[in-house]
Structure 1
Amino acid sequence: MVTFSRRQKEIHTKLSELSLLCGADVGFLVISSTGKPYTFGNPSFEAVAKRFLNGEGSSLLQQDAEHKMKMEELYKVYNSLVEKVAAEEKKLMMAKAEAEALPVESNAWWKIDPAEVKEEKVAKQLLEKYEELYEKLLKEIAARNHGGDVP
């Protein structure tokens, strides 16, 4: 059962895809070593189990044309979303690679130890930069806490 508990989400995803792609009614039941049942069903586990227990076995029910068209449309939307997610993941990986490749100056202002700054003018400039960064961070945190986009 360790394998199932680790792979539960993946198994449910695959079962859902199987049902969507094949138009099949799917019922899945696993009982853990602690005795807890886990089920998955499309349209529902109960409907699939009742159909099987009533002697209908694995024969598919005839679906009307409208239902098939809706399923095909949903399948197209699903594929489109999967492709978009893959493209966004690729963009993210490329952005990370670009960010890691950028050179960072060893004498960048944020790496300066304020205790080592002797000139008052330079210290004030450094303080202003720290305050600007602090304000940006506060805005970012507030935006994330409220679910808004960052300007």
Structure 2
Amino acid sequence: MQEQMGEGMGFQGNVLGGTMIIAGTAIGAGMLALPMISAGMWIYWSLLLMALTWLLMLRASQAILEVNLHYEPGSSFHTLVQDTLGPVWSTINGLAVAFVLYILVYAYVSGGGSTVQQTIMAVTGSDPGMMSSSLFFSLIL
């Protein structure tokens, strides 16, 4: 039954899933980072930075697509990097991905914990502390 469902989705399901991953990453990172980074810049510098970021993301996605076309469906990103660039760059890439994931988790927990802390302070009038708020955000929300 599971195989039949997967076959029925075909190309459309893969495109939708990939689009959602890219959109979620871009929107999530952009909502956290871009307003903070561009707060002190003029609008033209902000627009230039966003256009440059878009161009770099476009070129990177085209390079990944080009490499991906030479592999079987289901091949991992680790396999693509190791076969294309070798084991040393595969290790560097793995560490870079782990670092990015750590930073994203830190940013989301820090931002979410701050929001929870401010909400609790506004509702109850007491300060629960940043660690408790971040823990509540991570485990419950």
**TM-score tier after normalising by the smaller chain length:** 0.3 to 0.5
Find the structure with the greater CA-based Rg.
1
Q: Name the structure where helix makes up a greater proportion of residues.
A: 2
TM-score normalised to structure 1 length: 0.33
Of Structure 1 and Structure 2, the greater strand share is in 1
